[in-house]
Every structure is written in C-alpha cells, then in structure tokens.
Structure 1
Amino acid sequence: MKQLLIVALALLSVNAMAQHDHHAGHETHSSHETSSHGKHKLSLYTGFTHIPSAFYEHETHEESTGKWVPTIGVDYYYSLNNKWALGLIGDVELDQYYITTSNHDELERNNVVVVSAVGKYKPTHRIGILAGPGVEWEFKNHDTETFFVLKTGIEYEVEIENGWELTPMFTYDFKEEYSAYSFGITIGKRF
C-alpha cells in the first residue's frame, strides 16, 4: 500500500510541475468550464474491486490470494469552487465471497453496497483526491453485518464535450474487518 501512495504522490508532483508554466491560462479555462456546465456532476461507474482477504466457499483463507469482484456504482458531486467539491459515492460489488473476521469467524459477504460521503480536492485541473466516511452493508433478506468505511481515492478527469467527462479512478476502502481497492472508470455529465 505504501508503494501505491508513493507512486500516486510522485505522479501528482510531476503533473503539478508540468502544469506550472500554463497555470494562469489553464486556471481561467478551468473556471470557465466549471461555470458554463454547472456545479453538479452525476456519473456512472464500472470497474473491479480487489478484496485481498476474500475467498470462495470451496477455498480456505490460506488458499486464497484475494478476489477481483465486478463493481458498478453512481457518483454525485457538487462543486464548491474550482478546487473543492462534496460528493456521494455508491458502489455495489456483484459477487458472493467470504472473509475471516478479527474473531476468526468466516463471514459471508454477498452483493456488498458501499455508500460514502466524500470531499474532493483538485490540486490540478484534471486530478482529484477524495476521502470521506461511509458504510457497507449487503442486499439480503435477513440480518446482515454493516461496517464503517473510510474511502480514499484519486481520479483523473478527461473532458469530452458539452459537460461530459470520462474519469479513470483508483479508490482504497479502509473497512472495519477488511480492506479493498478498486480500479474503474466513470462517465459523467456536469449540469
């Protein structure tokens, strides 16, 4: 995990230095784009979530190297200004797997839903860094365990036209009993 954070910070530094020469003109363009397309952004997300501690019923925890789970979601952001935004992120992991809890019990997780309220800071025109609290639960007919989540992430916004954007992103969820990280892309519209 430390290596991923170091790489992300290095990429941010390189991008910030590369944009330093065009900062004044680029910032004016950024202000114009945000105001002309509105302060709201609604996006659909698709990607994969890796749960390092997950295993399937026929496996044991020792045999597992984690599971990649297809994930879909919806994101909503409200831009406070060119640097800050508040948002809600809702993701659904479309699979059934097991984890081992801190009490050494096996816990089934099935179609996990993670909803987080995040703040996003944009150090550059395209890069956003996000973090915020959330909760995880499952779609089930009977009682299910919920977990507190701290969602963190980094994204790179690519403007298409007319307020449409493609945004590759990486998120890391620190959960009560286990953690997960996701790679994916959103397609969103500013309005």
Structure 2
Amino acid sequence: MKNHISPAIRLTLVLLVILAIIYPLVIAGVARLAPGQGKGETITVNGKVVGYALVGQKFTADRYFNSRPSAVEYKADGSGGSNKGPSNPDYLKTVQTRIDTFLVHNPGVNKADIPAELVTASGSGLDPDLSPAAAKLQIARIASVRNIPAEQLNQLVNEHTKGPLLGLLGPSTVNVLRLNVALDELAPGHRDFMPQRHTESH
C-alpha cells in the first residue's frame, strides 16, 4: 500500500504544478501575442469602443450592412443557439418572419437568393461575420439610402473580405462591424456610429 501512495502523491503534485501553474502561464503568455493581448480585440471610433472584432452585434438599420440574426439578442454572457430543430414550427415561423422582413427592406432581391446566414442564427448567436455574397446582397439598399455608387460599396466589401485560412481552410468572410465602421468613414454625412450598447436603436 505504501509503495503506491508515495508515487501517487508525487504524481499529483507534479500534475498540479503543470496544469495549475505552468499551463495557465504558457497560455497567458501566448495570449499576450494575440490582438488585444488576450483581452479581446476592440474596435474604436472617435476614441470610443464600439464593439469587439470577434463578437457579433445588432445592425438592422437600412443604412448599415445588417448582421446575422442572434437567438440570444447578441448577449455575450449568454451565447447559444435556439436549440430548435429545422422542422420545429416556431423555428420555421421565425425564419419566415426574417425572410419577409429582409424582402421588405430589400425589394429587388429574390427570396431564393437570400443566403441562409441572413435569416438563421449561428450556434453561438454571436457570429461577427457574413459571407461576401450576403454582404453584397445588401449593397443596393445601402447605395440608395446613402446615395453612394454601388460599385464603390462593392469595392468596400472586397477590401474587407478575409479569405480562407492559408487559402484552404474555411470560407471567405466579412466582419460586419469593421465593414460598417468603414462605411461610416466612407460617408461622413451618415456617421452616427455609437458604442455597442446603443446599436439596437440604429
């Protein structure tokens, strides 16, 4: 019995040092090399933080590129999906409502052309990105509201499109927050960007 207890205690102490001290320090050190130094990469406008690059937020105004829907109202402290299956009546009703709303605000768009991401929430409810196609589908509306040539908005989307990792892994994406910040810079007359807690009134 004693022959087993002593090695078990030593192994426990070694693992305690590795997992409770060394490992956290290594992770903290690596995080310091990332944007935001492990505290999250913030985006600022006129010296005010308007959001985090990796956390989606609500944009529904016609003058902005609308973000992906959220099942948790973009609350980072309660991220999650709806947990409703694709055949759930309530879920289907919600998606249809989103489709109808999108078509009202984008009258030149055909229902079949709406990407799923514009009417369905992500698993976390905090997806900060859209596909380039989903962003470009909104150009006609924004061009009309802001009186900006569609070609210029198309170029803006292209400039903010991030390709797949290493050119192979994952889809191309556009960060909605960064895109909308650049949009306001493109048209100062419409600039009324506010910190994240106020974006729902846009």
- Under a length normalisation based on structure 2, what TM-score does the superposition of the two structures give? 0.25
Over alpha carbons, which structure has the higher Rg? Answer: 2
Q: TM-score, normalised by structure 1?
A: 0.26
Q: Which has more strand, going by share of residues? A: 1
